[in-house]
Structures are given as C-alpha cells and as structure tokens.
Amino acid sequence: MRRSTLLAVIVAMLLVAACGAPDAGPAGDVSDVSPEVVASPTATDVPPTVEPRATDTRFPDGLVFSIMGQTDTTFRPELQVRGYDLIVIGRVVEELPARWTTPDRLRPNDLYRDLPHPYTIVTPYVLELGLPDELQAMTGPIIPLSGRGATEFSMDATRIVVLLEGGKAGKDVVENATVAVPLTVGARVMVGAHATRTKDSDAPSERVLPTEAGPGWWGIAIAGLNDDGSATVFDESLTATEVVGGILDAVEQMTAATPVP
C-alpha cells in the first residue's frame, strides 16, 4: 500500500473512532442517524528533486566570444535560395532576451568544447510578416525554398521568430561580426530562415528552439527594405523589386533544375 493511501486510511479510522458508532433510530426512521464518515483517499505523487546541471564555472565575470569570418558581399540570389528553407519578408516588432541554446538556457558544461558548437547564444526577434506596396503584386511574404520549409512552417502564419546568433546572456557575450544586415525593432527586412542551425542537420541541439513567442527559426537578414522602395544588401544599394525579383527568378530556376521523382 502506498504511503499516501495508508495515511489517508489511518486518518479516516481516527475520524470514525472519534465520532462513535451511528445512533440507531426507529425502524424506517433515518432522521437521527449520524452521518457515516467515508474515506476517499487519493495518492499524490511527489515529483523527484532535480539537481541543477553543472555548468562551466570558469570566467566568473563573463566571457566574450567573437565569431569572425569572410563574407561575400555580392548579392547572389542563386546562393540565397539554396541556403535556406524559407525566405520571409516582414517588420521586426520585438526583440526577446538573448539566451543560450542549451535546453535549460544555462551555460554549457565546457565552454572550450561546446562553444560555438553545439551551443551558442542567440537573440530571438519577432517579425510581423507583410509586404510593402511595391511588392504586393510580386509575391507573398513567405517564399518556401524546400520541402521542410513548406511543411514545417504554416503558409498562413502572420509572424515568425528568427534566431540571430549573438547576444548577451547573463555576463556572457557572443559577438557575431558576420551580420551584414542587423535586425532592429521597426526595420523591414527580408530574412533567410531554416529549421536547423545547419541547413541539413537534424541534431537535437540544432533544431528549432522554443521561445516565449513561439518556435524560433535560425535566420540571417538578406536585405533591409527601406520605406522609399530601396533595399540595402551589404554595401549595395538596389531596389526592393530588384532584390525580390532576383530571388523569385532563382527559385524558378532551382525548381526547373530539380528532377521530378
């Protein structure tokens, strides 16, 4: 017998002993009968105590990790459409607190071994999907580029959470010097997004991460779309229609080159 059930039965027996036996009344008359105490024991499972996971205690004042690399600053739509599961267009409406990508959001066990792979710090941004007037006739705000993008993200969605590598979590900082188009609240951007940190990976540490605003997709801003109809791609200044038109042409070419099973 479980301890919680045994305790409930003992309590019930004590109650019966304290109240005494029911008073006997005339036959057919139950008005003077004392109510009988009925025990309804329930078992309550106490969740096991979870010990906090050990994290790297080095760098008590925090660490700064920089991601450096050379980036081709030329706008090449054919490369963009092969690098992501989705391309989305929208305005940044919220920046969420940066976090470690570990399941418990705490420092990895070994910073030397685990940073930047498999874990890093990301900053989630919420994008409200939508198009400026000059792009309304060209496309929708969601352009799927792969089967995974088409099936794992709803084409009816009005928002997406994009994870940009870099940010400050507690005292720890990851600097990402490869970001060409920053995500800032209020900016309208075109973002390439994928369901995993590495496009073709299915490792648990690289999958879509849960955030306060929904599942976060790994992403990089491809272009900034300005209110005057222009677009900023690295140091190039193009029009928004040129950027989107180039992407759509590359998608068409990619689709035509893909053999039908």
Q: Which of 11-15, 122-126, 212-216 has the lowest mean pLDDT?
A: 11-15
Task: Determine the Cα angle at 120 with ends 115 and 122, to 5°.
Answer: 160
The dihedral built from the CA positions of residue 134, 136, 138 and 140, taken in this order, carries a sign that is: positive
Whether residues 32 and 79 share a domain: the answer is: no
Whether residues 17 and 114 share a domain: the answer is: no
Stretch 13-27: mean pLDDT: 39
Backbone angles phi, psi at 7, to 5 degrees: -65, -40
Whether residues 116 and 192 share a domain: the answer is: yes
pLDDT tier at 169 (50, 70, 90 boundaries)?
very high
Most confident of 19-23, 60-64, 208-212: 60-64
In the predicted model, is pLDDT for residue 219 greater than 80? yes
Domain contains 75: yes
In the predicted model, is pLDDT for residue 254 greater than 80? yes
Contact call for residues 225 and 188 (beta carbons, < 8 A):
yes
Task: Show the domain range for 37.
Answer: 1-46
pLDDT at 215: 92
Domain contains 226: yes
Question: Which pairs count as long-range contacts for 43-47, CB under 8 Å and 24+ apart, including other chains?
Answer: 43/2, 43/4, 43/5, 44/4
Task: Determine the Cα angle at 197 with ends 167 and 255, to 5°.
Answer: 130
In the predicted model, is pLDDT for residue 49 greater than 60? no
In the predicted model, is pLDDT for residue 240 greater than 80? yes
DSSP H or E stretch at residue 26: none
Whether residues 72 and 34 share a domain: the answer is: no
Domain contains 168: yes
Q: Which of 13-17, 76-80, 108-112, 186-190 has the lowest mean pLDDT?
A: 13-17
Whether residues 121 and 245 share a domain: the answer is: yes
In the predicted model, is pLDDT for residue 127 greater than 90? yes
Domain contains 58: no
Domain contains 172: yes
pLDDT tier at 203 (50, 70, 90 boundaries)?
low
In the predicted model, is pLDDT for residue 106 greater than 90? yes
Give percent of the chain above pLDDT 70.
74
Whether residues 96 and 210 share a domain: the answer is: yes
- Burial of 218 from C-beta contacts in 10 A (0-12 / 13-18 / 19+): buried
Q: Which has the higher per-residue pLDDT, 49 or 63? A: 63
Domain contains 127: yes
Report the distance separating Cα 153 and Cα 35, nearest Å. 61
Whether residues 168 and 228 share a domain: the answer is: yes
Q: Which has the higher per-residue pLDDT, 118 or 247? A: 247
Whether residues 22 and 146 share a domain: the answer is: no
Strand stretches in 27-176, DSSP E:
64-67, 86-95, 99-100, 121-129, 142-144, 159-165, 167-169, 172-176
Backbone angles phi, psi at 163, to 5 degrees: -95, 120
Contact call for residues 155 and 144 (beta carbons, < 8 A):
yes
pLDDT at 259: 63
Q: Which of 6-15, 122-131, 170-179 has the lowest mean pLDDT?
A: 6-15
Whether residues 41 and 107 share a domain: the answer is: no
In the predicted model, is pLDDT for residue 256 greater than 50? yes
Domain contains 51: no
Whether residues 42 and 170 share a domain: the answer is: no
Mean of the per-residue pLDDT values for the chain?
81
Q: What is the pLDDT of residues 51-93, one digit of tens each?
A: 678 899 999 999 999 998 766 677 889 988 988 999 999 999 9
Q: Which two tokens stand for residue 89?
A: 């267009």
Contact call for residues 123 and 94 (beta carbons, < 8 A):
no
pLDDT at 4: 39
Single pTM value for the model = 0.76
Domain contains 53: no
pLDDT tier at 187 (50, 70, 90 boundaries)?
very high
- The count of structural domains within the chain is 2
